[in-house]
Amino acid sequence: MQFSPGADSFGLSDHPWLAPWEQDEVIKVLLRYGLIKFDNKRNLPLKGGGVTDIYINLRQARRHPPTLGFIADLFANPLRRMGAEQFYEIPDSVSCFAGLIADRTSLPYLTLREKAKEGRVAKADYIGEAAPGERVAGIDDVITDGESKAAPHFKARSMGLSILPFVVLVDRQQGWKQKFRELGIDVGVWPGMTLHDVRRYLIMNGLMERCSAQAEANNRMIVAVDNQADWEDVLTLLDPLRPTGSIIKFNDVIFNLGIKDLLPKAQVYGRVMADLKSHDIENTVRNITKHLLPCPPWAVTVHASGNSDMVKAAVETLRGTPTKVLAVTVLTSLKAGPNGTCEEVYRRQPLTAVKGLSKLAMRGGADGFVCSPEETPMLRGLYPQSIIVNPGTRSPGVDKHDQARVDTPANALRRGANFFVSGRQVLNAPNPVLEVIRVHRDELHIDLGLDQKK
């Protein structure tokens, strides 16, 4: 690979220079020597402020000499593949093995500081020499929002160097693309892995909890994560919400990012409700639900109005998996009353329509229903063992937006729902985690066992 300076390199972040099995091996080594710290309660402080659940600390490799050569060999790989003629380090996270990288690659290197050191005879903002036009790549341990990469980048540019993408071991996926564009940095980042890859390994191997058993057992909220452009936008929401134990509901995002890509990633952060609302012939619904088999979600939705055989096609396809098939009855956006939108569509009022649709769904073997709180007491009485989900719930005084037949979370549960859905109220809150905790604590009197100050 001979990367052309000036080419669009922002897409490189989607293609790490380590293969998945290599990432796992690297994580094992870093764990063995204590270079990865993790905390289920997300209490690890970050340099730029805030807290995290995982902290990569390569600067401590100096305490474990065997790791220095190992890490140097890792960084040598992408530098060779890009055709770098020199590299620059951003002190001091990679300083302990920068010399070894130079030895492995036979490449000279620069040290470019974020700030010049005072009182130096030599050049205070960099160490080393470089000729204009040389192909140079910056290296660092991780990238977060990208702010710390700006000064070294512009210094390299002022020296007339031909700048290649940054090479980092871990991309924390926390906004560097936007920051780079704001600052006018026109090169991207090539990571060995993402923080999500590290988190996936830790959780899937039982080293870290997805969330506490108490939080997952007590949480009654399904958070609707809609209208997100890409995985990094989704991750920004899922990462902090993970310890709350909330179920995550996807609708349009599944169609945007795809079942095969989204579900395995998202299930690292919680139970997933694939809100597909399938409504088609039996064979098509069977084919759709087949795509869920490699990574079965907590639940999937189908429209009860598709008839009992259609519902049965989904149930039979997913038999033997933990996935629940939930039948959507009458959408909560349809209005009741004479000449209301429900009567316009179903020629009957919501209660009667939901009763008829529920019979179709149960004949097909559905595990439960999606309905408004208004129809919930009837369905709870008819089908006491079914799972009932109420969408579009709002706390008292919160705008209903495009919903019509909705209620508060407390009333939804009081009327017999197992779970309620909240989207905009949580996602638009100043702190979505605190909003999840507040609704459970203040409105539902449910303790999730979480630190309420975060």
Please report the pLDDT score of residue 276 as a whole number: 96
Domains and CATH numbers, the chain: 10-200 (3.40.50.2020), 212-443 (3.20.20.70)
Residue type, 169: L
Please report the pLDDT score of residue 354 as a whole number: 86
Helix axes 65-82, 20-32, angle to 10 degrees: 150
The set of long-range contacts for 202-209, using a CB threshold of 8 Å and a minimum separation of 24, is: 202/27, 202/38, 202/54, 203/268, 204/268, 207/31, 207/38, 208/38, 208/40, 208/53, 209/40
User: 339 versus 281: which is more confidently predicted?
Assistant: 281
Please report the pLDDT score of residue 91 as a whole number: 81
Dihedral Cα 19, 31, 174, 211, nearest 10 deg? 110
At residue 123 the predicted structure's pLDDT band, cuts being 50, 70 and 90, is low
Residues above pLDDT 90, as percent of the chain: 72
DSSP bridge pairs for 375:
none
At residue 92 the predicted structure's pLDDT band, cuts being 50, 70 and 90, is confident
Note the pLDDT tens digit of each residue in 291-325: 999 999 999 999 999 999 999 999 999 999 999 99
Q: 0.75 cut: is pTM over it?
A: yes
The set of long-range contacts for 352-355, using a CB threshold of 8 Å and a minimum separation of 24, is: 353/329, 354/329, 354/330, 354/378, 354/379, 355/382
Choosing from 277, 355, 359, 454, the catalytic residue is 277
Please report the pLDDT score of residue 46 as a whole number: 78
- Averaged pLDDT, 278-288: 95
Name the range with the highest mean pLDDT among 43-52, 380-389, 422-431. Answer: 380-389
Q: How far apart are CA 78 and CA 97, in angstroms?
A: 15
Note the pLDDT tens digit of each residue in 207-231: 999 999 999 999 999 999 988 888 9
Please report the pLDDT score of residue 11 as a whole number: 78
Please report the pLDDT score of residue 450 as a whole number: 84
Note the pLDDT tens digit of each residue in 373-405: 989 999 999 999 999 999 989 998 787 776 767
Q: What is the overall mean pLDDT for the chain? A: 90
Note the pLDDT tens digit of each residue in 342-366: 666 767 677 788 899 999 999 999 9
At residue 175 the predicted structure's pLDDT band, cuts being 50, 70 and 90, is confident
At residue 115 the predicted structure's pLDDT band, cuts being 50, 70 and 90, is low
Task: Transcribe 163-222 into DSSP letters.
Answer: EPPEEEEEE--SSHHHHHHHHT----EEEEEEHHHHHHHHHHTTSS-SS-HHHHHH--EE
Instruction: Report the range of poorest mean pLDDT among 20-34, 143-157, 269-283.
Output: 143-157
Please report the pLDDT score of residue 399 as a whole number: 73
Q: Give 168's contacts (C-beta < 8 A, 6+ positions apart).
A: 139, 140, 141, 142, 143, 189, 190, 191, 192
Please report the pLDDT score of residue 116 as a whole number: 60
Please report the pLDDT score of residue 334 as a whole number: 65
At residue 117 the predicted structure's pLDDT band, cuts being 50, 70 and 90, is low
- Whether 335 shows a pLDDT value over 70: the answer reads no
Q: 277 catalytic, yes or no?
A: yes
Please report the pLDDT score of residue 401 as a whole number: 74
